[in-house]
Amino acid sequence: MIFLVIFASKSIKNNLYFHINQYNCVMKKILSYSEMLHLKRWNTPTVYNGWERVTRLERTEGRFNREPVCDFMTQMGIMVGTAVTVVVQPGNPEHQRANPYAQKEYMKYLASVPGPKIVVVKDLDSPHIGSFWGEINANLHKALGCVGTITDGAVRDLDEMANAGMHVMARHACVGHAYSTPVKWGCEVAVFGTTVIPGDLIHADKHGFMAIDAEDCEHLLEAVKFMDANECNHLLNLSRNTAGMALDRFIEEYAVAVDKFKSDAEEFFKKF
């Protein structure tokens, strides 16, 4: 397996790097494992709050799901990792015949990408009649450093997937696998009304998911930490400490707190 890692001084400073593998899939700046673990401490709405302060995009242009997605394993909490992508079409038997070695080639692609990884699956069938996932595939992916999946299609063997440690988000469950095989991988996919690109940071939980690119990751952790603390220091601190306070006084003090919340945020984000 041949791959190239290119470091730049700024990238080293920020624990970010480029990973270019033999599949010509450019895994742009990826957060370090440690930074991902930090981000796993906040839910996805909180990460959004930080993201909107550092993104170059208009806040409604973010790559988060526009369509309902079901988190089948809310007990597993928050899922964070690097996006790896695969396209499947379980209803079409021709794919298995066209490339009988697809599974092995796909596994080599997965192995070439640093973890933790989240497998984003685009199912071309409509309706979705078979699952790419099951007990065997879940354990295979776990062995290759994957921690979960966001599947725009159906899933099965949910208890067995949970036992393997694979967090599952999908459209619905099903009973069969039909003719599941990887069709193509390491490519941009459109899922749940948004686009996911290999190498994106994925942050997901019961609320939905976000796909965040390299540029927006650079100051993301700092932004999330600050915004969470800013809410606690000014808004929650007052809202949860109102015992004996007259309502008219609370309203006046809350307006002051909001102004302080906004001014502190403006001052903090001037440096980015």
Give residue 213's pLDDT band: very low, low, confident or very high (50, 70, 90).
very high
User: Burial, 95: exposed, middle or buried (Cβ in 10 Å; 0-12, 13-18, 19+)?
Assistant: buried
- Looking at the domain assignment, is residue 65 inside a domain? yes
Q: What is the pLDDT of residue 215?
A: 92
Instruction: Give pLDDT tens digits for 25-82.
Output: 444 546 899 999 999 999 999 999 999 999 999 999 999 999 999 999 999 999 999 9
Please give the structure tokens belonging to residue 201.
Answer: 């940071």
- Looking at the domain assignment, is residue 14 inside a domain? no
Instruction: Give pLDDT tens digits for 220-234.
Output: 999 999 999 999 999
State whether 213 and 226 are in the same domain: no
State whether 113 and 236 are in the same domain: no
Per-residue pLDDT averaged across 1-8, rounded? Answer: 34
Rama region for 77: left / alpha / beta (φ>0; ψ in -120 to 50; rest)? left
* Matching residue, tokens 């930090």: 38
Q: Which of 133, 173, 148 is nearest to 76 (CA)?
A: 148
State whether 115 and 129 are in the same domain: yes
Q: What is the pLDDT of residue 34?
A: 94
Please give the structure tokens belonging to residue 193.
Answer: 């009304």
SS3 of residue 255 by DSSP:
helix
State whether 112 and 228 are in the same domain: no
The whole-angstrom separation of Cα 84 and Cα 109 is 9
**Residue where one domain finishes, among candidates 198, 217, 236:** 217
- Looking at the domain assignment, is residue 88 inside a domain? yes
State whether 208 and 255 are in the same domain: no
Please indicate, yes or no, whether the overall pTM of this predicted structure exceeds 0.75.
Answer: yes
Domain hosting residue 194, numbered range: 33-217
Instruction: Give pLDDT tens digits for 104-147.
Output: 999 999 999 999 999 999 999 999 999 999 999 999 999 999 99
Domain count, the chain: 2
Evaluate if residue 7 carries a pLDDT over 80.
Answer: no
**Residue where one domain finishes, among candidates 217, 232, 252:** 217
Evaluate if residue 11 carries a pLDDT over 50.
Answer: no
Alpha helices (H) along the chain: 9-13, 33-39, 44-54, 94-98, 102-111, 135-143, 158-164, 214-217, 220-230, 237-239, 247-268
State whether 135 and 46 are in the same domain: yes
Bridge-based pairing of strands 79-88 and 201-205 is antiparallel
State whether 76 and 120 are in the same domain: yes
The amino acid occupying position 66 is R
User: What single DSSP character describes residue 236?
Assistant: I
Contact criterion met (CB below 8 Å) for 3 and 22: yes
Evaluate if residue 23 carries a pLDDT over 50.
Answer: no
Please give the structure tokens belonging to residue 143.
Answer: 């062995």
State whether 199 and 225 are in the same domain: no
